[in-house]
C-alpha cells in the first residue's frame, strides 16, 4: 500500500467526504484524537494533522477515538477485499477473529510466514502489527457490547477477546478516552431486552442497493437455514464457538442486524462475516464510475447504482451448495439442499430461533463425508463430488477461508473430479468475495450479453470489477432484478 498523500487526504477531510470513511483516519496532534475523514468538527490546521491507514496505527501513537464521529463505527476499507498479498490476507483474517482464536503465531502459520516477518511487513506498511490491529478490533467489539447489551463488564471483557478485565478497562480508556462505565451511561435507550440478542447498525458507503441485495439473497434462501419475507433476510451462522442467527433489514446507508449468539465471543466474527455477505465494505462510487464508462453497462449501472456483489458467511458452505446446484434449477437446488440441511444439519437451540423460520445449521464437512447415500437425494456423480469436496476440506487439500489466496483456492477446487471452471469461479466470487470474476459460460450471463449486444470478450475490459458487472447482467434479464434473474445461476454450460 503506497504512503498516504498528505495533501490529498487533507483535501478529503476539508470537504468532509464520507466516501473515504474507513480508508484512513485523521490524527490531530493538538487534541490527541483521531477521526474519520467526514468528522463534522471544525477542520484542524493542516500542520496539526497526520494520517494513518488504520485506527490501530493512530492508537499506537497515543491518539484516542473521537467521541463525535465514532471512527470505530465507520465502514471498513475496501482495500482488503481486493488485495491478495500477505497484508491484505492478514487483515481479512484478523477481522475474522483469527488472532483471538490462534494468536499471532497461528495467524502467521496459516499465512505461511514467520511471526517476525509478518509483524515487520504489517508494521512497515500499516504502522501497526497484527496484535495492535486485533486489539483495535477488540476495543470496537467491547464498545458494541457495552452500549447495546446489559452484560457485565467481566463478561464483555472476555467475550471481546481480552485476557483480563484490567486489560479491557485500560484499552477502553486509552482508545475511547472514557471508562466502560462512562460509555454505558451515555448509551441510548435501544438496548435489547432479549437475553443473548443484540441489534447493531452495520454501516456502508452510499449508494447502497440494499433492497435489491436482500431480494437476491432471498431468491437463494435454503429453507431452515435462511429465510426471506420480503423485508427481513434471516441467516443461520456457524461460528467458532457455537451457532448464531442474524435477521437483516436494509436501509439507505446501513443494515440493521439483530444477532443472537450462543457465545458472545463470536460477536466480532459474526459481524465481519455478515459484512462480507452483504459486501458492506465496497466502494460503490469507484465501481459504478468504472463500469459506467462502458457501453452496454452504462444504462444498467444508472438503473441500479450501488449494486453489491454478495459474498458468503461460509465459503465451504457456498462450495457445497454450488456443487449441489450443478445442472439444476435454483428451485430444485434449494429443495435438495434444504432436505440435506434438515437431515444432517445440527438443530439450533430454540432460544436462537424463537419467532423465526430458521431451525438448522448447515451440515459440517464431517457429516457430509460420512452420510449414507439415501440422504443426498441427488445423482450419484454429484453426491460423490460433495463427498470428495468435504473430504478434501477435512484433509486441508482444499482451504476455503478469508485468508486463502484466490489462485490457490481455484487450483485446489479444479483438482477435484466433478468440479469445473464454473463451479470454482462461482466459489471464488460468492464464497470468497473476489470482486473480479466473470462466469463466461453462465447461461444467464451469456443471454444477458447477447441482449446488450455484448460478448464475453468485452468482459475483459471491466476489470477489476467483473463480479459487479456480472450481477448487473444477471439482474438485467429479470423484472425483479437479481431476485428473478439470478434464479438461473445454477443453469450453466458446464460445471
The catalytic residue among 21, 283, 288, 442 is 442
Q: Measured between alpha carbons, how far is 354 from 229 in angstroms, rounded to an integer?
A: 16
Angle at 390 between CA 486 and CA 81, to 5 degrees: 55
What is d(CA 365, CA 383) in angstroms, rounded to the nearest whole number? Answer: 13
Cα–Cα distance, 331 to 397 (Å, whole number):
31
Distance separating alpha carbons of residues 415 and 150, to the nearest angstrom: 50
Identify any residues that bridge with 64 across adjacent strands, giving them in sequence order. Answer: 33
Q: At what angle do helices 115-126 and 130-148 cross, to 10 degrees?
A: 70
Whether 66 is a known active-site residue: answer: no
Q: Which pairs with CB-CB distance under 8 Å and at least 24 residues apart come from 366-374?
A: 366/390, 366/394, 368/320, 368/344, 369/394, 371/343, 371/344
213: part of which helix (H) or strand (E)? helix 210-219
H runs (alpha helix) in 325-465: 330-344, 350-353, 365-370, 380-394, 406-414, 421-426, 443-451
E-strand ranges in 251-377 read 254-261
Active site residue 39: no
- Residue pair 90/1 in contact (Cβ under 8 Å)? The answer is no
CB 351 within 8 Å of CB 196: yes
Q: Is 208 exposed, middle or buried (0-12, 13-18, 19+ CB in 10 A)?
A: buried
Strand ranges for 218-363 from DSSP E = 226-228, 233-239, 242-250, 254-261
Exactly one of 9, 35, 39, 69 is catalytic; name it.
35
**What SS3 state is found at 387?**
helix
Is residue 48 within 8 A of residue 248, CB to CB? The reply is: no
Give the residue numbers annotated as catalytic, written as ranges.
35, 442
Amino acid at each position: 500500500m503506497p504512503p498516504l498523500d498528505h495533501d490529498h487526504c487533507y483535501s478529503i477531510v476539508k470537504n468532509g467526504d464520507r466516501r473515504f470513511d474507513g480508508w484512513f483516519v485523521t490524527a490531530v496532534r493538538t487534541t490527541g484524537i483521531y477521526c474519520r475523514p467526514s468528522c463534522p468538527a471544525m477542520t484542524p490546521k493542516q500542520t496539526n494533522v497526520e494520517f494513518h491507514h488504520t485506527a490501530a496505527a493512530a492508537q499506537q501513537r497515543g491518539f484516542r477515538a473521537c467521541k463525535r464521529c465514532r471512527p470505530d463505527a465507520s465502514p471498513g476499507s475496501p482495500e482488503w477485499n481486493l488485495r491478495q498479498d500477505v497484508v491484505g490476507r492478514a487483515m481479512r483474517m484478523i477481522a475474522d477473529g483469527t488472532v483471538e482464536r490462534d494468536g499471532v503465531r497461528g495467524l502467521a502459520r496459516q499465512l505461511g510466514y514467520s511471526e517476525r516477518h509478518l509483524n515487520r511487513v504489517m508494521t512497515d506498511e500499516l504502522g501497526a502489527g497484527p496484535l495492535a490491529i486485533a486489539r483495535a478490533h477488540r476495543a470496537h467489539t467491547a464498545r458494541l457490547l457495552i452500549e447495546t447489551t446489559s452484560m457485565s463488564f467481566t463478561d464483555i471483557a472476555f467475550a471481546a477477546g481480552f485476557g483480563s478485565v484490567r486489560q479491557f478497562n485500560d484499552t477502553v480508556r486509552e482508545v475511547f478516552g472514557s471508562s466502560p462505565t462512562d460509555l454505558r451511561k451515555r448509551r441510548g435507550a435501544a438496548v435489547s431486552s432479549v437475553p443473548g440478542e443484540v441489534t447493531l447498525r452495520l454501516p456502508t458507503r452510499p449508494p447502497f442497493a440494499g433492497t435489491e441485495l436482500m431480494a437476491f439473497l432471498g431468491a437463494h434462501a435454503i429453507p431452515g437455514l435462511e429465510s426471506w419475507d420480503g423485508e427481513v433476510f434471516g441467516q443461520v451462522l456457524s461460528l467458532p464457538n457455537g451457532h448464531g442467527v442474524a435477521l437483516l433489514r436494509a436501509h439507505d446507508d446501513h443494515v440493521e442486524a439483530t444477532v443472537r449468539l450462543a457465545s458472545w465471543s463470536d460477536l466480532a466474527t459474526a459481524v465481519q462475516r455478515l459484512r462480507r455477505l452483504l459486501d458492506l465494505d465496497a466502494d460503490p462510487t469507484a465501481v459504478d464510475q468504472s463500469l459506467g464508462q462502458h457501453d452496454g453497462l452504462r444504462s444498467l449501472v444508472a438503473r441500479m447504482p450501488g449494486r453489491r456483489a454478495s459474498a458468503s458467511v461460509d465459503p465451504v458452505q457456498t462450495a457445497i451448495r454450488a456443487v449441489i446446484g450443478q445442472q439444476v434449477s435454483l428451485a430444485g437446488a434449494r429443495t435438495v439442499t434444504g432436505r440435506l440441511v434438515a437431515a444432517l444439519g445440527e438443530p439450533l437451540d430454540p432460544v436462537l430461533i424463537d419467532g423465526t423460520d430458521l431451525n438448522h445449521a448447515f451440515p459440517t464437512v464431517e457429516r457430509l463425508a460420512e452420510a449414507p447415500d439415501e440422504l443426498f437425494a441427488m445423482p450419484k456423480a454429484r453426491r460423490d463430488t460433495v463427498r470428495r469436496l468435504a473430504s478434501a476440506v477435512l484433509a486441508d487439500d482444499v482451504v476455503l477461508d478469508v485468508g486463502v489466496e484466490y489462485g490457490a483456492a481455484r487450483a485446489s477446487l479444479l483438482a477435484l473430479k466433478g468440479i469445473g471452471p464454473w463451479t470454482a469461479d462461482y466459489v471464488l466470487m460468492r464464497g470468497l468475495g473476489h470482486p473480479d470474476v466473470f462466469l463466461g459460460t453462465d447461461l444467464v450471463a451469456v443471454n444477458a450479453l447477447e441482449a446488450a449486444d455484448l460478448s464475453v470478450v468485452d468482459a475483459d475490459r471491466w476489470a477489476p470489477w467483473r463480479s459487479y458487472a456480472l450481477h448487473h447482467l444477471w439482474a438485467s434479464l429479470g423484472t425483479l432484478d437479481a431476485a428473478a434473474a439470478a434464479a438461473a445461476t445454477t443453469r450453466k454450460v458446464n460445471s
